[in-house]
Amino acid sequence: MKKILVIRYGTIGDSIFASAFYRELRNALPDARIDILVDDIAEGVMRNCPYINKIFYIDGKYRNFLGYISLFSKYDTVYFLKNDRFFSTIAFLARVKERIGFDVKRNRFLTLTSAYNEDRHEIDCYLDLLRISGIPVKNDKTEAWLDRINDSTAKEIVSCIPNKKIIIQAYSRFPQKNWLDEYWIEVIKYLSNTLQAQVFFVGGAKDIKSYQNITDNIKDELDLLPINMCGKLTIPETISLVNNMDMVIGIDSGIIHAAAALDIPSILLHGPTSLIRWKPRSEKCIVLSRQFSCSPCCLQSDCVKYCKNRVSDCMEYLTPDIVINTLNDKFGVKNRKIA
């Protein structure tokens, strides 16, 4: 029996992008043992994945050097979906026969490599690792996996809400992706007072105050106050909540990619990242973008990491009226166009 270890830790979005890789790998090798090495964030996405046998957690690196040598030595093949000098060296020292990853400096001692092309979608880069190892790829659609317990939690949250239910994700760990708070205020007013929609905020505990500041500025002007779920839900519970929404509106983030994987309608407020690399793969995702000559300027190896401006021009010029008019068209609201 072939034994395979896949390494992909990091963000929710990256883990969802990798879902196509896991499915295609399992479909090609139904009898193989496929295990993964992840961190807490990736585990939250992967917990209910039907294509893997076992999840291993990253528990330090150098202090657990011998433990990783022992773990890696059990596998015939290691795929590196996450570029990592430490783990690629471990695979070499453990004498793993096939060490497959991207041809970048952070990876070392690989036996088979594929180009990590920034002019190619991240999903396709992952799937290229299968192609170069002789595994056919038939489908590039992403997936997100639910379970009964987490879905019950989400359904309980929304059970007494007859209104349209819309998630907003306004903040990223990369601040240059963020939209302006005053723009969100205008959109939230429209959602609450015109669409009579129940807005939900999602994110980590660190986001609670930011969302609360938005609500505090307009709470007396809203028919329906947003429900702030930041820090209250696990990642699987958040993904299940997405599955119970009518729409997700947000910046380039993991929640938008979860919506795409679940075929939930969404609006992406796109700014400084590359659409070629990061666009959600869903016909139900509407991308609103104001491209500038300097785009993209975020998460590209040949670009400066941060926009020279406090607020990226591409986000500042993506004004609330553009989003509201898109919502008008989506929900059939007549005579509400904003010039």
Write out pLDDT tens, residues 143-153. 999 999 988 99
Write out pLDDT tens, residues 184-193. 999 999 999 9
CA 166 distance to own-chain centroid: 18
Distance between CA atoms of residues 40 and 74, nearest Å: 23
CB 254 within 8 A of CB 227: no
Which domains occur in the chain, in start order? 3-132 (3.40.50.2000), 152-331 (3.40.50.2000)
Global pTM value = 0.92
Given a cut of 60, whether residue 305 has pLDDT beyond it is: no
Cis peptide before 296 (omega within 30 of 0): yes
What's the sign of the alpha-carbon dihedral 323, 324, 330, 336?
negative
Element (H, E) at 49: none
Residue 35: exposure state from Cβ atoms within 10 A (0-12, 13-18, ≥19) = middle
Distance between CA atoms of residues 274 and 306, nearest Å: 14
- Residues 296-322 have a mean pLDDT of 76
Distance between CA atoms of residues 143 and 16, nearest Å: 7
Give the per-residue pLDDT at 175: 83
Tokens standing for 11? 């963000």
* Phi, psi angle pair for 247, to nearest 5°: -165, 155
Write out pLDDT tens, residues 242-300. 999 999 999 999 999 999 999 999 999 998 888 999 999 999 999 999 877 777 887 66
CB 320 within 8 A of CB 187: yes
Give the per-residue pLDDT at 331: 85
- Helix %, strand %, coil % of the chain (to 5): 40, 15, 45
CB 259 within 8 A of CB 13: no
How wide is the angle at C-alpha 227 spanned by C-alphas 321 and 192, nearest 5°? Answer: 35
> 24-38, 56-70, 237-251, 304-318: lowest mean pLDDT where?
304-318
Give the per-residue pLDDT at 62: 87
* Residue 178 DSSP code: P
